[in-house]
Amino acid sequence: MNKNIKELERIAVQIRIDILKMLSEANSGHTGGSLSAVDILTALYFSKMRHDPNNPSWKERDIFVLSKGHAAPALYAVLGRAGYFGIDNFSKLRKLGSILRGHPVRGITLGVDVSTGSLGQGLSQANGIALASKVDNKKRRIYVVLGDGEVQEGQIWEAAMTAAHYKIDNLCTILDNNGLQIDGHVKDVMSIDPLPEKWKAFGWNVIEIDGHKFEEILSSLDKAEEVIGKPTMIIAHTIKGKGVSFMEGKVKYHGIAPTQDELERALKELK
């Protein structure tokens, strides 16, 4: 599903519009961290990953794990636009009986391979899938998106040790490093710096990028695929609320949906 940069940028704008509309309709959910992850997910699903919306269970597909499960609206918008289900489902986010739950659930939403939401667990799950893929001689790659606040969880570092110890080189983790979490700045709540040095010390291949520039995202994903004997951590420097000026860098938009007025203002900017 290769797309040129301009097309990826166009898709990303549409994804942001979808996210804001579905959150506003639900009047619930996580805005800031969904918007910061859009460009990463767009690059993965519309350019890099091997997957087939017409055959979601294709055994040779790459696997994606949204460890920061509260950013589910971004994943749902991408999956819907990729063709896994009808986009009419967007208006049913977080509603009773909907296939779009508050956090991703395997078996409920087509295209979701791993149920997530409890922070800190996604990397461990990805390790298991990656190791099993090696045992089964599958050429697939496993991609994980972590939140920076999530990296404060101890289980992340146990998983980091495990991935390096077993040389899980079919694993690529992208850190959505937007600097904010529900209680404020990550550096103030519990600093995770220095990030590159920590992951390198744990035995990982580390790449730093601007998480909103498609050229850098795609280049880093290509480079990760060439690494042998080490898992890769891509530290993507992003902006919370990216794409909407009055939401960018604002912690207040971590876990609230836009009001109708905010939605209209945001859509004017994006369109």
Domains and CATH numbers, the chain: 5-270 (3.40.50.970)
Q: Which residues of the chain have pLDDT under 70?
A: 1-3
Residue 2 is predicted with a pLDDT of 58
- Write the DSSP symbol of residue 257: P
Report whether 67 contacts 269 (CB < 8 A).
no
How many Å apart are CA 72 and CA 105, to the nearest integer? 10
What sign does the dihedral 186-245-101-237 (CA atoms) show? negative
What pLDDT does 144 receive?
98
Cα separation, 34 vs 47, in Å, equals 19
pTM comes to 0.97
Tens-place pLDDT, residues 92-148:
999 999 999 999 999 999 999 999 999 999 999 999 999 999 999 999 999 999 999
Residue 42 has a pLDDT of: 98
Return phi, psi of residue 171, to 5°: -110, 130
Please tell me the distance from the alpha carbon of residue 65 to that of residue 116, in angstroms, as a whole number.
8
